[in-house]
């Protein structure tokens, strides 16, 4: 996660999928972003990960982009911060 709140790469090994590891990692980044005073996170999702981010509160933030034969879906999540903790 960059200083501006961009999640550049967030991948799991196949064995870690569907057991809560991705959600835990994302939650940690949200808490850290809130601690840094950021009000949102943003990223460009792959088609495969798009449903994961939608389930976790991210919303579309622009038109899909094509690069290197891959479609990237811009997404953003506004952080709800209560007492310095992302909710």
Annotate 13-80 with DSSP letters as a single string. Answer: -GGGTTTTHHHHHHHHHHHHHHHTT-SEEEEEE-HHHHHHHHHTT-EE-S--EEETTEEEEEEEEEPP
pLDDT of 19 above 70: yes
pLDDT of residue 67: 86
User: Of 77, 14, 83, 20, whose CA–CA distance to 45 is shortest?
Assistant: 77
> pTM of the predicted model, to two decimals?
0.86
Q: What is the pLDDT of residue 32?
A: 95
Q: Which two tokens stand for residue 35?
A: 């601690």
Go through the domains of the chain in sequence order and give each one's CATH number.
6-86 (3.40.630.30)
* pLDDT digit string, tens, across residues 32-77: 999 999 999 999 999 999 999 999 999 999 999 998 899 999 999 9
């Amino acid at each position: 996660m960059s200083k501006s709140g961009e999640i550049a790469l967030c991948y799991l090994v196949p064995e870690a999928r569907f057991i809560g590891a991705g959600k835990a990692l994302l939650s940690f980044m949200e808490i850290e972003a809130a601690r840094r005073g950021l009000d949102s996170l943003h990223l460009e999702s792959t088609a495969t990960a798009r449903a994961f981010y939608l389930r976790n509160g991210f919303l579309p933030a622009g038109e899909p982009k094509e690069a290197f034969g891959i479609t990237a879906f811009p997404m953003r999540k506004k952080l709800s911060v209560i007492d310095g903790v992302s909710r």
